[in-house]
């Protein structure tokens, strides 16, 4: 057998393996999609929408933390900015259709994200995290003080309105499918970003920033763009959340929320695509189920214990561990 | 849209009445949802003990109403309006809950009452402070029972100025809630012939009050008013005690203070503090009898919120029994028509904006020498009559009032 034959054989096997993996992924995604489409007939739609909004928020956060290696401790600011902007616009300008309000909220969050990014990426590691936290606290105080947010009481009575002036979103099912479509679009976008050449540069920055610099990449620009995309998607999550719940509140701006999204991402699996989605589903469910049961006094300690356990014993999160297992046993 | 629905519903209801058909209790069950902070800042104020008060009310009523079962579902609101809104929505739309009780953080209450209004059910608000709940956020579907910020920030200053505290210094939490209270206090003090000699705003939340308290002390004002709530208030009181503010002759007026706060602070730190309360456990034989039973169940004395939950639940069940219906509007009307005379209050009444107006009390925290035990905390100085205690309807921004 000649050298070239061996090479082509190896290539063929690799291709085969890849195809098998692609098929597996496609099947998994297909099953998930069907489940998501049928879910509102089994479960309570508003609760599902809450999960989807937080899942989008976690996916956005993960793009920055999991794929670029930047730990932002201020993502609540974007969630809240999106929510308050959309809520304020939709409650005060009845001419706006729902999607216009959502787009406006998302854009404002994007601009804020650009501001955050330009200031914070000058520092690395813990300093980066602290700068984002400090900026997010400034945003929090802005929302506490501004009369239009209703301060502690929150902004209430946001109308859901009609999508494109046609589809009545007061109906929970319509609202659910709208949120689902937006969520899936964003999820696919992040998937596309991560597998694009740009995404590979982000991963390179995460693994070894000096080497990425020495290869000639303008690292700062890549980071700023990743930050802005992440902030935009987080803002979109907040905008949709304010429409779903018809309110925006200070909870979204509080640093607890920035912590919660870290928890969701870590538990689900940092640096994986499905991880944050699973993490968000899990955390929202734990909060809800425990809040109803006899353990309701213990929600925070339990979440804390899960966090510690994840960090100590399975650092790659649920999805990460499953992937490892699959690779080991089925590769 | 909702008005049309309500009109239609009442038309159908009256048609049924005329036809002699009996009004009904849906599913032959009265289902009560108890939504409160079970694990956070407001746990002691309402929390698990509030649930106990609710259960006591149901047990005292006999466990059934007109042969219908009474069921309770509970949830922790985690002080989050979205948790509140989704939980209440699910309760009302899927689980056939008829009435929502508890309702503590104002943001939670406003979010929940919006959902309750959409579904035309009933909410009995006991834990919340904000007077906006029966003002700009009023709905025909809830009743605000125990107290509100108007009563608290009007009651204490009026009484203190009348008792000779002429000059005031206000310590304000720097956000909407604090600003609103500062404005209320200023208005009341000046209207009664007192004078505001100074005020200072502190960030929300503030762990260290030393510099603020020192400035207040240096102002030489007769009274230092705390226009803040929760941990800010207790921190300010602790700091004031360390600097010997009351001992040096100044009065501290707490605007939003609960028995559970004072219990946590102890009489040593809180002595001399003047505050307004809607109810106190050691007022008369009736309150003591109920509080003893409550203490046996929970190990703590009830706050005014616990008493309010008990009283309002009994009123509700009584109205359901009298009308034989769990329809929100029927029950609310019956409750409005019935004066409240129980261990919580005498001659309390529910106005059309949903505000339950009743006598409030100016109390002073006892000194360690005066106090005979862990829970012997207040002296009642005077009764603030209901007409003075709550916002007059003439000043109301409630949509139910202006539409008349």
**Which one, of B6, B10, B23, lies nearest residue B319 by Cα?**
B23
CB–CB of B174 and A145 under 8 A? yes
Q: What is the pLDDT of residue B59?
A: 96
Does B397 fall in a domain?
no
Q: What is the pLDDT of residue A235?
A: 97
Q: What is the pLDDT of residue A177?
A: 95
CB–CB of A299 and B85 under 8 A? no
Region A206-225 average pLDDT = 94
pLDDT for residue B370 is more than 80: yes
CA-atom Rg of chain A in angstroms:
21
Q: Are residues B159 and B270 in the same domain?
A: yes
- Those residues whose C-beta lies under 8 Å from the C-beta of residue B372, and which sit 6 or more positions away, are none
Q: Are residues B249 and B381 in the same domain?
A: yes
Region B341-365 average pLDDT = 95
**Which one, of A202, A277, A198, lies nearest residue A237 by Cα?**
A277
CB–CB of A250 and B114 under 8 A? no
Region A280-304 average pLDDT = 84
pLDDT band at A19 (very low <50, low <70, confident <90, very high): confident
pLDDT for residue B9 is more than 70: no
Three-class SS state of A123: coil
Q: What is the pLDDT of residue A294?
A: 76
Three-class SS state of B26: helix
Q: What is the pLDDT of residue B402?
A: 66
Q: What is the pLDDT of residue A8?
A: 85
- Those residues whose C-beta lies under 8 Å from the C-beta of residue B368, and which sit 6 or more positions away, are B267, B268, B271
Asked, as a colleague might, if the bond just before B260 is cis with ω within 30 of 0, I would say no
Burial B76-93 (b: 16+ CB within 10 A, else e): bbbbbbbbbbbbbbbbbb
| CA atoms of B310 and B291, how far apart (whole Å) | 11
- Those residues whose C-beta lies under 8 Å from the C-beta of residue B109, and which sit 6 or more positions away, are B84, B103, B123, B125, B127, B128, B130, B133
Region A29-37 average pLDDT = 91
Q: Chain A: residue nearest B109 by CA?
A: A153
Helix (H) or strand (E) holding A307: helix A299-313
Whether the CB of A46 is below 8 Å from some CB of chain B: the reply is yes
Q: What is the pLDDT of residue B7?
A: 54
pLDDT in tens, A42-56: 888 989 999 999 999
Q: What is the pLDDT of residue B6?
A: 57
Report whether B2 contacts B118 (CB < 8 A): yes
**Which one, of B349, B321, B322, B308, lies nearest residue B54 by Cα?**
B308
Q: Chain A: residue nearest B117 by CA?
A: A157
Q: How many CB atoms lie within 10 A of CB A43?
A: 11
pLDDT for residue B14 is more than 60: no
Q: What is the pLDDT of residue B120?
A: 96
Region A25-29 average pLDDT = 85
A102-116, A142-156, A275-289, range with greatest mean pLDDT? A102-116
Q: Are residues B86 and B158 in the same domain?
A: no
Helices (runs of H) and strands (runs of E) counted in chain B: 14, 15
Which positions in chain B touch A156 (Cβ < 8 Å)?
81, 110-111, 114, 137
Q: Are residues B366 and B244 in the same domain?
A: yes
Region A181-202 average pLDDT = 95
CB–CB of A251 and B132 under 8 A? no
Q: Chain A: residue nearest B112 by CA?
A: A156
Does B399 fall in a domain?
no
Which residues face B357 on adjacent strands? Answer: B349
Closest approach of chain A CAs to the CA of B89, in angstroms? 8
Which positions in chain A touch B204 (Cβ < 8 Å)?
144
CA torsion angle B290 B386 B129 B96 (round to 10) = 60
Mean pLDDT for chain B overall: 90
Nearest neighbour of A296 by CB, restricted to B39, B82, B137 = B39
pLDDT in tens, B45-90: 889 999 999 999 999 999 999 999 999 999 998 888 888 998 999 9
Mean pLDDT for chain A overall: 91
CA angle B131–B379–B54, rounded 5-degree value: 50
Does B50 fall in a domain?
yes
Nearest neighbour of B110 by CB, restricted to A156, A251, A296 = A156
Lowest mean pLDDT among A176-190, A234-248, B5-19: B5-19
pLDDT in tens, B278-288: 999 999 999 99
Q: Are residues B372 and B227 in the same domain?
A: yes
Does B96 fall in a domain?
yes
Q: Are residues B41 and B95 in the same domain?
A: yes
Q: Are residues B225 and B187 in the same domain?
A: yes
Whether the CB of B137 is below 8 Å from some CB of chain A: the reply is yes
Three-class SS state of B245: coil
Whether the CB of B29 is below 8 Å from some CB of chain A: the reply is no
pLDDT band at B19 (very low <50, low <70, confident <90, very high): very low
| CA atoms of A10 and B223, how far apart (whole Å) | 87
Nearest neighbour of B78 by CB, restricted to A47, A145, A291 = A291
Whether the CB of A286 is below 8 Å from some CB of chain B: the reply is no
Q: Are residues B170 and B92 in the same domain?
A: no
CB–CB of B176 and A156 under 8 A? no
Does B43 fall in a domain?
yes
Whether the CB of A287 is below 8 Å from some CB of chain B: the reply is yes
pLDDT for residue B403 is more than 60: no
Does B395 fall in a domain?
no
Whole-prediction pTM value? 0.86
Which of A140, A237, A245 to mutate to test binding with chain B, by most B CBs within 10 Å of its CB?
A: A245
| Total length of chain B | 404
Closest approach of chain B CAs to the CA of A285, in angstroms? 11
Does B331 fall in a domain?
yes
CB–CB of A291 and B81 under 8 A? no
Region A11-16 average pLDDT = 85
Does B67 fall in a domain?
yes
Which positions in chain B touch A298 (Cβ < 8 Å)?
39
Report whether B111 contacts B85 (CB < 8 A): yes
Higher local confidence (pLDDT), B186 or A289: B186
Q: Are residues B326 and B377 in the same domain?
A: no
Sign of the CA dihedral running B352, B354, B359, B364: negative
pLDDT for residue B269 is more than 80: yes
Which residues face B277 on adjacent strands? Answer: B361
Residues 228..247 of B with a Cβ closer than 8 Å to A: which?
none
Q: Are residues B141 and B13 in the same domain?
A: yes
* Count of the separate structural domains present in chain B: 2
Q: What is the CATH number of the domain that holds B46?
A: 3.40.50.2300
Closest approach of chain B CAs to the CA of A263, in angstroms? 17
Q: Are residues B159 and B215 in the same domain?
A: yes
CA-atom Rg of chain B in angstroms:
21
Q: What is the pLDDT of residue A1?
A: 58
What number of CA atoms fall less than 13 Å from residue A130's CA on the CB side? 5
Q: What is the pLDDT of residue A315?
A: 85
3-state helix, strand, coil in chain A (%, to 5): 80, 0, 20
Q: Are residues B161 and B172 in the same domain?
A: yes
| CA atoms of A106 and A234, how far apart (whole Å) | 8
pLDDT in tens, A121-146: 999 889 999 999 999 999 999 998 88
The whole domain housing B373 covers: 150-277+359-389
Q: Write out the DSSP string of A243-288.
A: HHHTEE-GGGTSHHHHHHHHHHHHHH-TTSSSHHHHHHHHHHHHHH
| CA atoms of A198 and A213, how far apart (whole Å) | 14
Region B323-338 average pLDDT = 95
Q: Chain A: residue nearest B38 by CA?
A: A297
CB–CB of B75 and A153 under 8 A? no
**Which one, of B378, B154, B368, lies nearest residue B262 by Cα?**
B378
């Amino acid at each position: 057998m000649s050298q070239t034959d061996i090479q082509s054989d190896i290539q063929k096997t690799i291709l085969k393996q890849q195809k098998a993996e692609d098929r597996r992924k496609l099947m998994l995604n297909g099953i998930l999609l069907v489940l998501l489409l049928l879910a509102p007939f089994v479960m309570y739609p508003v609760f599902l929408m809450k999960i989807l909004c937080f899942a989008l928020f976690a996916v956005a956060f993960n793009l920055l933390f999991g794929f670029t290696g930047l730990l932002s401790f201020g993502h609540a600011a974007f969630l809240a900015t999106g929510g308050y902007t959309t809520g304020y616009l939709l409650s005060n300008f009845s001419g706006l259709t729902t999607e216009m309000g959502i787009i406006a909220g998302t854009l404002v969050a994007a601009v804020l994200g650009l501001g955050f990014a330009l200031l914070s990426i000058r520092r690395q590691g813990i300093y980066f995290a602290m700068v984002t936290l400090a900026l997010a606290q400034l945003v929090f105080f802005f929302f506490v003080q501004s009369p239009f947010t209703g301060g502690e009481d929150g902004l209430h009575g946001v109308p859901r309105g009609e999508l494109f002036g046609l589809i009545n979103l007061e109906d929970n099912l319509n609202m659910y499918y709208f949120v689902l479509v937006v969520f899936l679009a964003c999820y696919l976008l992040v998937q596309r970003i991560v597998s694009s050449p740009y995404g590979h540069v982000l991963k390179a920055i995460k693994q070894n920033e000096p080497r990425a610099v020495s290869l000639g990449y303008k690292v700062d620009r890549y980071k700023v763009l990743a930050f802005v995309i992440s902030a935009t998607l987080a803002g979109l999550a907040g905008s949709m959340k304010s429409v779903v719940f018809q309110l925006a509140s200070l909870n979204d701006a509080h640093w607890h929320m920035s912590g919660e999204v870290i928890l969701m991402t870590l538990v689900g699996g940092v640096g994986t695509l499905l991880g944050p989605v699973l993490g968000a589903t899990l955390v929202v469910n734990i909060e809800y189920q425990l809040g109803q049961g006899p353990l309701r006094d213990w929600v925070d300690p339990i979440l804390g214990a899960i966090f510690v356990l994840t960090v100590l014993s399975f650092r790659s999160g649920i999805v990460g561990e499953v992937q490892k297992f699959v690779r080991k046993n089925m590769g | 849209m909702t008005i049309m629905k309500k009109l239609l519903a009442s038309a159908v209801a009256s048609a049924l009445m005329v036809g002699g058909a009996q009004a009904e209790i849906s599913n032959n069950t009265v289902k009560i949802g108890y939504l409160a902070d079970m694990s956070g800042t407001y746990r002691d104020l309402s929390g698990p003990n509030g649930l106990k008060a609710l259960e006591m009310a149901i047990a005292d009523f006999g466990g059934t109403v007109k042969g219908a079962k009474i069921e309770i579902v509970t949830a922790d609101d985690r002080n989050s309006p979205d948790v509140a809104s989704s939980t209440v929505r699910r309760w009302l739309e899927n689980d056939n809950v008829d009435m929502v009780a508890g309702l503590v953080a104002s943001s939670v209450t406003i979010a929940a009452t919006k959902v309750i209004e959409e579904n035309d059910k009933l909410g009995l608000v006991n834990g919340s402070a904000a007077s906006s709940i029966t003002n700009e956020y009023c709905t025909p579907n809830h009743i605000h029972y125990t107290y509100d910020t108007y009563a608290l920030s009007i009651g204490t200053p009026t009484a203190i100025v009348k008792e000779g505290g002429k000059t005031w210094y206000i310590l304000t939490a720097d956000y909407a809630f604090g600003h609103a209270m500062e404005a209320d206090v200023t208005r009341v003090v000046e209207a009664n012939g007192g004078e505001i000699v100074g005020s200072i705003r502190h960030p929300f939340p503030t762990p260290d009050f030393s510099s603020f308290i020192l400035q207040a002390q240096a102002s030489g004002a007769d009274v230092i008013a705390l226009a803040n709530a929760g941990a800010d208030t207790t921190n300010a009181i602790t700091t004031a005690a360390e600097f010997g503010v009351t001992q040096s002759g100044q009065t501290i007026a707490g605007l939003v203070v609960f028995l559970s706060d004072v219990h946590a602070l102890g009489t040593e730190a809180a002595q001399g503090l003047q505050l307004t309360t809607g109810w106190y456990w050691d007022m008369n034989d009736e309150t003591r009898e109920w509080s003893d039973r409550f203490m046996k169940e929970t190990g703590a004395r009830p706050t005014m919120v616990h008493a309010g939950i008990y009283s309002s639940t009994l009123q509700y069940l009584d109205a359901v029994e009298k009308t034989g219906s769990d329809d929100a509007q029927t029950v609310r009307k019956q409750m409005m028509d019935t004066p409240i005379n129980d261990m919580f209050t005498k001659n309390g009444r529910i106005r059309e904006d949903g505000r339950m107006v009743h006598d409030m009390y100016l109390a002073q925290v006892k000194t360690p020498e005066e106090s005979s035990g862990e829970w012997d905390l207040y002296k009642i100085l005077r009764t603030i009559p209901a007409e003075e205690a709550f916002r007059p309807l003439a000043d109301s921004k409630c949509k139910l009032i202006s539409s008349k």
